[in-house]
Amino acid sequence: MPVRTQQNSTSPLAGVPFTKGHGTGNDFVLILDPEGRLDLDSRSVAAVCDRHRGIGADGLIRAVRSERIPEGRALLQSAPDAVWFMDYWNGDGTTSEMCGNGVRVFVHFLAVKGFVSLDGGATVSVATRGGVKVVAASADGYSVDMGPWEFIHPDTAVARGTDSLVEIQGLEVARPALSVSMGNPHTVVALASLGELTAAALHTAPAVEPFPPQGTNVELVVPNDPLVEDGVGVVTMRVHERGVGETQSCGTGACAAAVAIRYWAGDSAPSRWAVGVPGGVVGVVFHVGVDGLEHVELSGPAELVAEGVLFPASLQALSS
């Protein structure tokens, strides 16, 4: 049965079939648009993602063939096997470079629809605004080579171990943080206890100084005690996502959290990590890529939970 929403009758999403999916609670509305016929706009995306007057989601993902979108055509020149582009939009209607949980759900969506196959150890290359990501089946669902990580402020990070200060509602003093890029920006704060993690109020965005021009995702992370169990580093995390708010999980954020805690832990830190988020657990593994750089691999589940059609009659687009 179609899901009744409130949408402007001129919305490009009016009458469009959708699928709802999630990866460890990070949820998405998925739209199939192989030929790139939909001209999405931020107000329509925000309306669909609204949890009270729309379907409700942390973001919207459009599946479009790379040749049908300028960003995808540019990537095809160096990665001709990346035939599908993950057009990712945050819940507030802004576009984003990439989403680690989202790319797993995206590939699962394409597999269920019969557009890709991961049988026999096959991989799928996905074009994103954050570059091409290679996805494979794994014991816990899907694994994604997220590419190399890097410090956003490398000189300051290496010299001081931190590069910014973060004020978090619910915590009394500003906390030092480390800025990490996973193709999108992250600011990672280590907290002393699960009590502090619970006390943090993430319904409002933490204040980051200096504030990145394009904004940032903020991860609050508590290392386990002991940090390493059976050769695996263990941490617990909450996240405020840029353009969304607090989410149940953030794949790129889990990678950034592992990067920062591993760096702070020193040379003896392991290469395998289990990152606990409110929606479950994701795995992070560090390895050297064919480019000689240290890459981060993210793994975890992906689920599709519902299908429907966005009603053509009149979903009032939300103002930002």
**Residues 157-188: pLDDT tens digits?**
999 999 999 999 999 999 999 999 998 999 99
pLDDT value at residue 319: 37
How far is residue 139's CA from residue 144's CA, in Å, rounded to a whole number? Answer: 13
- pLDDT attached to residue 315: 52
Residue 285 is predicted with a pLDDT of: 98
pLDDT along the chain (320 residues), means of 10: 46 91 97 96 93 94 98 96 97 92 97 95 95 95 96 96 97 97 95 97 95 92 97 98 93 97 96 98 96 96 96 49
Please give the model's pTM, rounded to 2 decimal places: 0.89
Residue tagged 């500003």 (tokens): 174
Residue 258 φ/ψ, nearest 5 degrees: -65, -40
Catalytic site residue from 29, 45, 82, 99: 99
Residue-by-residue DSSP string for the chain: -PBP--B-TT-TTTT-EEEEEEETTEEEEEEE-TT------HHHHHHHH-TTTSS--SEEEEEEEGGGSHHHHHHHTT-TT--EEEEEEETTS-B-S--HHHHHHHHHHHHHTTS---GGG-EEEEEETTEEEEEEEETTEEEEEEEE-EESSHHHHHHHS--EEEE-TTSSS-EEEEEEESSSEEEEEE-S-HHHHHH---SSPPEEESPPTT--EEEEEEEEEEEEETTEEEEEEEEEETTTEEES--HHHHHHHHHHHHHHH-TT--SEEEEEETTEEEEEEEEE-TTSSEEEEEEE--EEEEEEEB-SS-BPPPP-
Instruction: State the CB neighbour count (10 A cutoff) for residue 60.
Output: 27
Instruction: Tell me what pLDDT residue 1 has.
Output: 42
Catalytic residue of the set 13, 111, 250, 254: 250
Q: Could you confirm whether 49 is annotated as catalytic?
A: no
The widest CA-to-CA distance across the chain, in whole angstroms, is 59
**Residues 6+ positions from 84 with CB-CB distance below 8 Å:** 63, 64, 65, 66, 106, 110, 115, 116, 124, 126, 127
Active site residue 255: no
